[in-house]
Structure 1
Amino acid sequence: MTQTQLTPYTWGALLLLAAIWGGSFLAIRTALDEIGPLTSVFYRTSIAAVFLWLVMLARHDVPKISSTLWIGFGGMGLLNNVIPFCLMAWGQLYIETGLTSILNASTAIFGVLVAALVFADEKLTLRKTLGVGVGFIGVVVAIGPSNLLTFDITSTAQFAVIAGTFSYALAGAWGRLRLGGLSALHASAGMLTASSIMMTPLMLIFEGVPSVDLAVSTWMGVLYFALIATAAAYLLYYKVLALAGAGNLLLVTLLIPPVAIVLGALVRGENLMPSAYLGFALLALGLAILDPRLTRRKRMV
């Protein structure tokens, strides 16, 4: 079995994906200055879904969707979009975009635990256990030990983001169980369509009919995180997966926070506590332990 080697082209694809997703945290926070979290998620999923359906129509590549497949799309939409997008958008109202991106990096840590519980071929080894342990210490440090003992709005927002990353991990297992074999385009379009259907009543009940009379900066944020950071990024993600392999793709997790931190500082004047950077370093160490290929970039046979 050959581990894909990173070429200049694949490095460029990895960096582009990290830049796109790193910028999404700023785009979401910008939109939240004018619209509510649920409305932002509705715009994100529905605009992205429409875009992907147009792509399928243009390619004459519309799949036949059974009721069983819709169940798969519904579960994936709930776990990979509705729950994490809503929790993280709400959390960003009260914590920095850079810190949100750091906590988001714990998705890979939770993913290992969920996979070990669900799949027989993903048992926890000593190395995985050590990596998960170091990663969790990083999460605690990034949040701040004192925030674990108090439940103010800031600490609650941080826990909401962490809950969102756990939902991402559950989505990974659900996707493997229910959506295996689907193309990236079909899986993404179906998932986002189901998410939009679920978000519509939630938004209408809690935030009302969305306004289209928004500031230019708000629309720029909405269109960025819907079309670029969601629709296009999902397709690019699967392209990078094919080019770089699953192990190398973990690098994106480590490249996203620096982008989000720099953008948050430059555009919104955010400053993170030193503990956030230390926590991110520990998270990165935990990921490196989980997959040594992150620090050993030679071809493996």
Structure 2
Amino acid sequence: MTRNIPQQNLSPRAWALLLLLALIWGGSFLSNRAALEEVGVLTTVAFRVGGAAIVLWGWIFWRGLALPGGRHAGRFLIMGLLNNVIPFTLIVWGQTQVESGLAAILNAATAIFAVLLSALVFADERLTLRKGLGVALGFTGVAMAMGVGHLFAFDPRSLGQIAILGACLSYACAAAYGRVALKGLRPEVSAAGMVTGAALVMIPLALWREGVPTFGYAPATWAALAYLALMASALAYLLYYAVLQVAGAGNLSLVTLLIPPFAIALGALVYGEALPLTAYLGFGILALGLLILDGRIGPKRRARTQESA
């Protein structure tokens, strides 16, 4: 029984890593839009997971890390589907209909779905009153960011937003499955196996549906594809676990709130994207809900003590 566990403080180095990770993932929404200028949705995702797999396995061999057993192959494939194939495809397609900043705001709802799914699956993650309040505020913020009209209309824009929320649900399923299926593996190995499983699905699928890439892309398109594979996937996964070690899981969850401002700023700077006021208000309410879920607002010490008992 654990009581009175203090919140792990963020050092300047931890803050720097956290902000860097948020910037990298915020930039992925901008890179998605840039890649879509010349590359299809499926091919964009295939480049991302295929390139990330090559880099991550190179890292593992360079570090001399132990390789996983064959029994993990099926688990990597499932994780690749849930954490890469489905959400990446839905987000990239969704961005053909909505702005980069709005996509990032809706993507922040992943934590809301994760809390609900974990409460259904794991006995040690029950839905408390505090979590219920955070979830309710989170969904209120999502509804406001989407716009009430788009909740009941099935035009391309509303479908794009729904696709991004579907990606959030898939991420939540991946988190729940990965907690059990990948237990005991080094995080770098889990990440490499996961994106490899995704590449085994996405590359044939992209070739089948969109054909062999021309490779005659503009430099900006190649830069976007390279960014998605090398920065937003391979480096981001390694950085994610580095932040986890120095900041702790609770503080790492702050990245969910830091990504949208970067994505909004980059979308406005590069493409002149402008979001309606309701999107910003919705993000504010969603952020409040996430902070309550994390225990940073409200009876933090008491809630954390009771839930860790």
TM-score per shorter chain, which class?
over 0.9
Distance 1:268 1:5 in 2: 37
CA shift for structure 1 position 180: 1.1
Does 2:172 align with 1:141? Answer: no
TM normalised by structure 2 equals 0.93
1:40 — aligned with what? 44
Kept in 2: contact 1:81–1:192 (CA 8 A): yes
1:22 — aligned with what? 26
Secondary structure of the corresponding residue to residue 296 of structure 2: helix
Map 1:42-191; keep pairs closer than 5 Å: 42-66=46-70, 68-191=71-194
Kept in 1: contact 2:22–2:258 (CA 8 A): yes
- Which among 205, 209, 214 is matched to residue 206 of structure 1? 209
Kindly provide the amino acid, as one letter, of the partner of residue 13 in structure 2. Y
**Comparing 284-293 with 139-148, which one deviates more in the overlay?**
284-293
Kept in 2: contact 1:247–1:294 (CA 8 A): no
Secondary structure of the corresponding residue to residue 27 of structure 1: helix
Kindly provide the amino acid, as one letter, of the partner of residue 207 in structure 2. L
2:17 — aligned with what? 13
CA shift for structure 1 position 289: 1.0
1:237 — aligned with what? 240
Kindly provide the amino acid, as one letter, of the partner of residue 89 in structure 1. V
Does 2:250 align with 1:247? Answer: yes
Secondary structure of the corresponding residue to residue 45 of structure 1: helix
Secondary structure of the corresponding residue to residue 274 of structure 2: coil
Distance 2:64 2:240 in 1: 22
TM normalised by structure 1 equals 0.96
1:278 — aligned with what? 281
Kept in 2: contact 1:3–1:245 (CA 8 A): no
Kept in 1: contact 2:87–2:167 (CA 8 A): yes
Kindly provide the amino acid, as one letter, of the partner of residue 56 in structure 1. I
Matched pairs, number: 299
2:222 — aligned with what? 219
Secondary structure of the corresponding residue to residue 61 of structure 1: coil
Kept in 2: contact 1:248–1:293 (CA 8 A): no
CA shift for structure 1 position 36: 0.5
Distance 1:96 1:85 in 2: 16
1:288 — aligned with what? 291
Gaps of 5+ in 1: none
CA shift for structure 1 position 54: 1.1
Aligned-CA RMSD value: 1.6
Distance 1:7 1:35 in 2: 41
CA shift for structure 1 position 65: 2.3
Kindly provide the amino acid, as one letter, of the partner of residue 109 in structure 1. I
2:35 — aligned with what? 31
Kindly provide the amino acid, as one letter, of the partner of residue 133 in structure 2. L
CA shift for structure 1 position 296: 9.7
Secondary structure of the corresponding residue to residue 213 of structure 1: coil
Kept in 1: contact 2:50–2:203 (CA 8 A): no
Kept in 2: contact 1:4–1:243 (CA 8 A): no
Kindly provide the amino acid, as one letter, of the partner of residue 289 in structure 1. I
Secondary structure of the corresponding residue to residue 212 of structure 2: coil
CA shift for structure 1 position 293: 2.8
Gaps of 5+ in 2: none
Identity %: 54
